[in-house]
Amino acid sequence: MATRQLFFNAALREALLEEMAADPRVILLGEDVAVYGGVYKVSQGLLERFGPDRVRDTPISEAAIVGAGVGAAMQGLRPVVEIMYADFIPIALDQIVNQAALMYFVSGGTVHVPLVIRTQGGSGSNAGPQHSKSLEAWFAHIPGLKVVAPSTPAEGKALLKAAIRDDNPVIFYEHKLLYRTVGPVSDEEVAIPLGQAAVKRPGSAVTLVAWSRMVLEALKAAEALAQEGIEAEVVDLRSLCPLDETTLFGSVRKTNRAVVVQEAWRTGGFGAEVASRIQEHCFDDLDGPVLRVAGMDAPIPFSPALEKKVAPSAADVADAARRLCRGPARR
C-alpha cells in the first residue's frame, strides 16, 4: 500500500476534505476556520472547495458555536465544529454537557447528535496558562460523549473520519505539538473504529499506557529502557471513550506491570481511571502498583524555563518504569 509522509495537520485536513466530499451533510463551523483555514491550517482550502454555506467562520462565541453544531446535528447535518483552544471550551461547556451529551438519552433514543468537536490542547508552545491545558478527562467523565486523542497523522486521519461518521457527539482532542509531526499516511482508505487501542511497541517487562502526544514520550522511554534490557510495551489508547479494555488488560496481564502516562494534571486525570480499572481487573496479575506519570498539579506556567518542568518527559516515564521493574517482585 503506497503511503506519503504527511504532517499531522495535513492528515486531519485530508480527513475533513474526504468526508465533506463524500457527504454533503458535513459542515465546518468555528473561529478562523474558513478564510484563514484554521489557526493550525487544518481546514485550509476547504472554503474554496466547498463554499461558504458549508465552511463558516463564526464570531468568538464558543457557546453558540457548539450549540449551533448541536442544533444542526439534530436537524440532519453532521457538523464538525472547532474550538480553537481546549482552554476556551469552558465557555461552551453547558452546550456540551447539558445539550449534546444528554439529547439521545432524554429523547429515549429518538434524537441523536452526530457532532464532532475538534479542539486543541497541551503545553509546550509557551502559550501560557490559558492556552495550554489538557482537559480530556472532563469529557471522558460525561456519559454520552466519546473522546478521541490520536498520536500520529495516519491515526488522526482515520479516527477523525470515524468520528465524523459516528452518530454521537465526539470530542476530538488534538495536541498542539503534534501538528508539525510527520508520519506515513496511506493513499487508501484506512478505517480505525473508535474504541480500539493499538500496541505501538511490543514488550514483556512493563506496559506503558498513553494517548495523544504522550505516546511519543512513552515510545522514546521504551527505546531508552530497551538499551538497559527492559522491554516495555507501549499501548496507545487512541480513544478514552469508548475505552479498549481488552487490549489494555491483555497487555498488563502479559507484562504484569503498568505505568500510565498523561500530560494532564495528575489529580482527577484520566490516568487515574485507567490505573483504577487495571487494578480492579488485573490485580492478581500485577507485580507492583500501577504507577502514574502525570503533569504537575499546577497551572501551566508561561516561562519556557518553567513550562518544561510541568509536563512529563520520556525520562520521567523511563524512571517510573525502572522503579517498577527493579523493585522487589511480589512473587
Partner 1 sequence: MPRSVDYRRIYRLMLRTRYLEEAIVQEHKQGKTFGPLHLCIGQEAAGVAASAVLAAEDVITTTHRGHAHYIGKGLDLKRLCCEIWGKAEGTGQGRAGHMLVVDRGTGILPGSGIVGGGLPVAVGEALAFQIKREPRVVVAFLGDGASNSGAFHESLNLAGLWRLPVVFFCEHNVYGLTVHVKDHLSVQDIAVRAQGYNMPGLVVDGNRMEEVAPVVLAAVERALSGAGPSLIEAKTYRLHGFSTSDTGGYQREEDLAAWRARDPIRLGADYLLSTGLTTQAEVETMDRQARAEVSAAVAYALAAADPVEVLVPSAVFKE
Q: Is 107 in the site for partner 1 (CB under 8 A)?
A: yes
Residues acting as catalytic residues: 62, 131
In the stretch 147-176, what mask flags binding to partner 1 with x, by CB under 8 A? Answer: --------------------xx--------
Per-residue contact flags (x/-) with partner 1 for residues 6 to 35, judged by CB under 8 A: ---------------------x--------
Number of residues that bind partner 1 (CB under 8 A): 43
93 binds partner 1 (CB under 8 A): no
- Is the CB of 23 or the CB of 94 nearer to partner 1? 94
Cα-based distances in Å from 131 to 61, 121, 135, 160, 286:
17, 7, 11, 23, 38
- All three cell numbers of 111: 434524537
Could you tell me which stretch among 104-112, 265-273, 275-283, 292-300 binds partner 1 (CB under 8 A)? 104-112
Identified binder of partner 1 from the candidate list 94, 125, 186, 329, rule CB under 8 A? 94
Report the DSSP beta bridge partners of residue 30.
57, 82
| Residue 243 interacts with partner 1 (CB under 8 A): yes or no | no
Q: CB of 128: closest distance to partner 1 in angstroms?
A: 23
- Half-sphere exposure of 282 toward its Cβ, with a 13 Å CA cutoff? 26
Nearer to partner 1, 29 or 235 (CB): 29
Phi-psi region of 30 (alpha: psi -120 to 50; beta: other; left: phi over 0): left
The candidate with the shortest Cα–Cα distance to 98, out of 148, 147, 142, 163, is: 142
One character per residue 35-74, x = contact with partner 1 (rule: CB under 8 A):
------------------xx-x-xx-x-xx-xxxxxxxxx
> What gap in Å lies between CA 21 and CA 249, rounded to an integer?
39
Q: Which stretch binds partner 1 (CB under 8 A): 90-98, 208-216, 247-255, 259-267?
A: 90-98
Between 91 and 177, whose beta carbon lies closer to partner 1?
91
Site stretch for partner 1 (CB under 8 A), options 88-96, 157-165, 201-209, 322-330: 88-96
Pairing of strands 198-201, 232-236: antiparallel
Please report how close the Cβ of residue 153 comes to partner 1 at its closest, in angstroms. 27
Q: Which stretch binds partner 1 (CB under 8 A): 2-10, 98-106, 183-191, 277-285?
A: 98-106
Positions in the binding site for partner 1 (CB under 8 A): 27, 53-54, 56, 58-59, 61, 63-64, 66-77, 79, 91, 94-95, 98-99, 102-112, 143-144, 146, 167-168
